[in-house]
Amino acid sequence: MEKDHSLALWGMGMAQVALRQFDEGIATLKHAVRATGRGVFLLGVLGWALAMAGRKEPARAVLEEFRARPESAPTVVSEAWLLAALGYKERAFRVLARAEQEYQPLILFPKLPGFDLLRADPRLPAMETRLGLPPLEVTS
């Protein structure tokens, strides 16, 4: 793959974190953030990865960068993932509600690992139903 291909880096970094390969995932996502000039979506994914790895202070620093954005800036779904990973589920669902109102495309992919911490909450399946998405299949 191209070394700075942000979409490939995003996918690889999220997969590494989902597989609990935190150091590798964080390194991949840091590379992606650099490659995009601190693109806000990938910055949020990096914050989520840091929080998932238990690195709460650096994750909170990323959250502060989100707070510095203009209030009129479009919603970024990765902010909801970061908030959930820091334990702020109510705030995460507020972000997702805004994302739904703004027709942000990533809410159409609730099976991404960033949504994992929100899966047990009935608001996620309710969102999937509103969006006309099939329910998550549980395999044993």
Q: Does any domain span residue 122?
A: yes
Q: Does any domain span residue 26?
A: yes
What is the block-wise mean pLDDT of the chain (140 residues), using blocks of 10 residues?
Answer: 85 96 98 93 96 98 92 92 97 96 94 95 94 73
Q: State the virtual CA torsion across 31, 42, 21, 112 in degrees, nearest 10.
A: -150
Q: Does any domain span residue 120?
A: yes
Q: Does any domain span residue 65?
A: yes
Q: Does any domain span residue 140?
A: no
Q: Does any domain span residue 1?
A: no
Q: Does any domain span residue 30?
A: yes
How many distinct structural domains can be found in the chain? 1
Q: Does any domain span residue 135?
A: no
Is the pTM higher than 0.85? The answer reads yes
For residue 56, the enclosing domain spans 6-130
Instruction: Provide the pLDDT for residue 53.
Output: 98
User: Distance between CA atoms of 56 and 40, rounded to whole angstroms?
Assistant: 18
